[in-house]
A and B are shown apart, each in its own frame.
Chain A
Amino acid sequence: MELTLHVSLGEGSCAKQPMSRKRSYSVLPGFGLTMGYTLTYLSLIVLIPLAALIVRAASMSLEQFWAAAFNPRVMASYRITFGTSLVAALVNSVFGFIVAWSLVRYRFVGRKLLDALIDLPFAIPTAVSGIALTAIYDRNGILGHTLFQWGIKSALSPLGICIALTFISLPFVVRTLQPALEEMDGESEEAAMCLGASRWETFRRVIFPALFPSLLTGFALAFARSLGEYGSVVFISGNLPMKTEITSLLIITKFEQHDHLGATAIAIVMLVASFAILMSINGLQWYLAKKFRG
Chain B
Amino acid sequence: MSVENKHGIQDPLWVQWTLITITIGFVAIFLALPVAIIFAEALKDGLKTYAIALKDPAAWSAIHLTLLVTAISVPVNTVFGLAASWAIAKFEFKGKSLLLTLIDIPFAVSPVISGFIYVLLFGLQGWFGQTLSDWGFKVIFAVPGIVLVTIFVTFPFVARELIPLMQEQGNDEEQAAISLGAKGWQTFFYVTLPNIRWGLLYGVILCNARAMGEFGAVSVVSGSIRGKTATLPLHVEVLYNGFNVPAAFAMASLLALVGLLTLALKTYLEWKVKQQRRELALVNE
The interface of chain A, by Cβ under 8 A from chain B, is 2-10, 13-19, 21, 23, 26-31, 33-35, 37-38, 41-42, 45-50, 52-53, 56, 95, 98-99, 101-108, 110, 114, 116-129, 131-133, 135-136, 142-143, 166-167, 170, 181-182, 184-187, 189-190, 193, 199, 202, 207, 224, 227-231, 235, 248-249, 251-252, 255, 260, 263-264, 267, 270-271, 274-275, 278
On whether the beta carbons of B27 and A56 are closer than 8 Å, the reply is no
- A53 → chain B, closest Cβ, in Å? 5
Is residue B26 contacting chain A, with contact meaning CB distance below 8 A? yes
Residue in chain A with minimal CB distance to B123: A260
**Stretch of B45-53, B54-62, B111-119 on the interface side:** B111-119
Report the nearest B residue to A26, measured CB to CB: B91
Q: Per a CB cutoff under 8 Å, which of B3, B12, B19, B266 touches A10?
A: B266
Give the CA-CA distance A110 to B170 in the complex, in Å: 37
| B interface, CB within 8 angstroms of A | 1-9, 11-12, 16, 19-20, 22-24, 26-27, 29-35, 37-38, 41, 80, 83-84, 86-88, 90-93, 97, 99-113, 116-121, 123, 125-127, 148, 151-152, 155-157, 160-161, 164-165, 167-168, 170-171, 174-175, 178-179, 184, 187-188, 199, 202, 206, 209-210, 212-216, 219-220, 233-234, 236-237, 240, 248-249, 252, 255-256, 259-260, 262-264, 266-267, 269-270, 273, 277
| CB-defined contacts of A122 to chain B, threshold 8 Å | 206, 209
A105 to B47, CA, bound (A): 43
In the bound complex, how far is the Cα of B236 from the Cα of A136, in angstroms? 17
19 contacts between A and B (CB under 8 A): A26-B175, A27-B178, A30-B86, A35-B87, A38-B80, A38-B88, A49-B152, A101-B19, A117-B27, A117-B32, A119-B266, A120-B259, A124-B259, A143-B33, A182-B7, A251-B113, A260-B119, A271-B113, A275-B108
Q: Give the A-B pair count, Cβ closer than 8 A.
A: 327
Check if B20 sits within 8 Å of A228, measured CB to CB. no
Q: Which of B20, B102, B259 contacts A46 (CB 8 A)?
A: B102
Bound form: Cα–Cα A4–B234 in Å: 33
Residues of B within 8 A of A190 (CB): 8-9
Q: Per a CB cutoff under 8 Å, which of A6, A98, A167, A182 touches B22?
A: A98
Query: Are the C-beta atoms of A14 and B259 separated by less than 8 Å?
Result: no
CB pair A18–B167 under 8 Å, yes or no, is: yes
Would B155 and A46 count as touching, CB distance under 8 A? yes
B31 and A121 form a contact (CB under 8 A): yes
Do A38 and B84 form a contact, CB below 8 Å, given A28-B91, A189-B9? yes
* B256 touches which of A23, A124, A166 (Cβ 8 Å): A124
Interface pair A10/B7, CB less than 8 Å apart:
no
Which of A46, A135, A230 contacts B110 (CB under 8 A)? A230
> Chain B: which residue is nearest A38 at the CB level?
B84
Contacts of B233 in A (CB 8 A): 125-128, 231
A167 to B28 Cα, complex, angstroms = 11
Docked Cα-Cα span, A126 to B255, in Å, equals 10
Q: Which residue of A lies closest to B128 (CB)?
A: A52
| A34 vs B237: C-alpha distance when bound (angstroms) | 40
Residue of A nearest to B151 (CB): A45
Residues in B with CB closer than 8 Å to A8 are 107, 156-157, 160-161, 206
Distance of A43 Cα from B249 Cα, bound (Å): 39
